Chains A and B, each alone.
Chain A
């Protein structure tokens, strides 16, 4: 994988459903993997920055895992709420410098 890829592109779930997204990234020269939430009319805000293979991070109902050897990360949302509706972006930082390259994002809509 040469670029950062995210799937699915969009997702529509009902309130209370749990959901997950995937981020794939180049596994060579890995340094860090970021997750951001971008709500409409706001700026992207960081959820997690992960650097170690096997990392698992959690913030409330949202958690993320990291596999640097195979080049993927999962973001999980447990019991989705309408306020979780946003675009979720992942970004990859290789060890060659400060460049932070983003995927196209997963757009999540949670309806009551």
Chain B
């Protein structure tokens, strides 16, 4: 089955620890995205990547880091510098600028 896989679905971490969220796609898409959703906020763009070994900051990149070493994979690290990391995180990918995005199932991160 083609699609986007995010893991894990739920993640708990202690405050001050870095945590990495996984996103893998087998759709052969060039572009990949990370969004964060908080209640009443909609989807806010954290980082996106148009091509392997290249990525761009979105509106709320502070406290996050990404890598794009392979076309299929776009992991997101939530660092200890992120002040409010508890949120729902969605990964997406798409082929070209005029095509639709496909989304993973999301990871709910809770930092205690």
Contacts and interface: CB of A to CB of B under 8 A. Distances in A.
Interface stretch (B16-24, B67-75, B77-85, B98-106): B98-106
Interface residues of A, number: 23
Given A97-B56, A99-B58, A103-B42, A32 B50 contact: no
Most B CB atoms within 10 A — which of A51, A98, A105?
A: A98
Contacts of B90: 43-44
B89 interface: no
Contacts of A36: 101
B9 to A, nearest CB: 11
Contacts of A104: 40-42
B33 interface: yes
B98 A100 contact: no
Contacts of A44: 43, 90, 101, 103
Interface residues of B, number: 27
A49 B100 contact: yes
**Secondary structure of the A side of the interface?**
strand
Contact of A46 (B42, B48, B100, B106): B100
B43 A89 contact: yes
12 contacts: A43-B102, A43-B106, A44-B43, A49-B99, A49-B100, A89-B43, A93-B97, A93-B98, A98-B97, A99-B45, A100-B45, A102-B45
Given A44-B101, A102-B35, 4 more contacts: A34-B101, A36-B101, A43-B103, A98-B97
What 8 A-B pairs are tightest by C-beta distance, nearest first?
A46-B100, A104-B42, A43-B103, A102-B43, A98-B50, A98-B31, A44-B103, A105-B42
